[in-house]
Amino acid sequence: MEQVFIRASQEALILTVLVSGPPILAALVIGLVLAIVQALTQIQEQTLSMAAKILAVFGVLYLAGYWMASHIHRFTYIIFSEFPRWIH
């Protein structure tokens, strides 16, 4: 029984990394590109990079939101359907 909970926890952690990866990678790439551009042009405007990162994250969430939600929905459905069997 303990193995079931460990497996569910592992799947939850993997799902968390899988779902949070695309927005974080988008923010990372945009931040890196803008940091290089700001270093080359000597523009030190913080709101420019923050606004671009926010737009990139929202864009990724818009484009990949259905995919993310379907993975979360599938995992939640499995957890709730298996829960009665776990407590008996």
Domain ranges of the chain: 64-88
SS3 56: helix
Question: For residues 85 and 78, what is the distance between their CA atoms, to the nearest angstrom?
Answer: 11
pLDDT, position 19: 96
pLDDT, position 55: 95
Question: For residues 59 and 80, what is the distance between their CA atoms, to the nearest angstrom?
Answer: 31
pLDDT, position 28: 96
pTM: 0.79
Question: For residues 36 and 53, what is the distance between their CA atoms, to the nearest angstrom?
Answer: 14
Place of tokens 């029984």: 1
